[in-house]
Every structure is written in C-alpha cells, then in structure tokens.
Amino acid sequence: MGSLTKRQKEQKKYNLPELSMTPQQSTYYNYCVDNNIRISPIGISDTPGKWYIGISTPDNYKKIYKSKHIYDRPSVGSDV
C-alpha cells in the first residue's frame, strides 16, 4: 500500500516543488493579488520538470504572456 503505481510515479514528475516564500516574495505576492495580476508556472507538455512562467494582467486576463526562458524544478519556485 505504500508503493506508488506506475501512473502515480509518472504524474509525480510533473508536480511542482513545495514553495516557501521569503517576506519580500510575500510582499510581491500580496501586491499581485491586490492588483489582480496573475503569475503562475505553465507546464510544458511531454517535458516533466520544466515550466514557463505566465503573466496575465487585469485588463485582459485571458491573454497570457509566457516567458522565453524555460525553468526547471529548483528555479521555478524562486522565480515565480
């Protein structure tokens, strides 16, 4: 019962790492929430452990601006 199935192991590759925010990051987070700015990682299909960072603004929240850089598991949390 403690072991993962093959499907669960495959899905785990796509999970984001646990994040812990610094006080400065918390301030930035609160600013974005207050001003309805959405910043989030966007997974790259068929590439586990790699993400773009997407930003959308309040005037057109359905338009997402993706970063040019691809982020990996250790760097995605600090850069979001």
Model confidence pLDDT, tens digit, residues 23-48: 998 898 899 999 999 988 888 888 88
Pairing relation of β-strands 50-57 and 38-43? antiparallel
Q: Is 39 exposed, middle or buried (0-12, 13-18, 19+ CB in 10 A)?
A: middle
Report the distance separating Cα 77 and Cα 29, nearest Å.
Answer: 13
In a domain, 33, yes or no: yes
Question: pLDDT value at position 46?
Answer: 82
The most confident of the ranges 9-13, 44-48, 49-53 is: 49-53
Count of domains for the chain: 1
Question: pLDDT value at position 1?
Answer: 54
Report the distance separating Cα 16 and Cα 35, nearest Å.
Answer: 25
In a domain, 7, yes or no: no
In a domain, 12, yes or no: no
Neighbours of 33 (CB within 10 A): 10
Question: Which tops the pLDDT comparison, 69 or 19?
Answer: 69
Question: pLDDT value at position 27?
Answer: 93
In a domain, 59, yes or no: yes
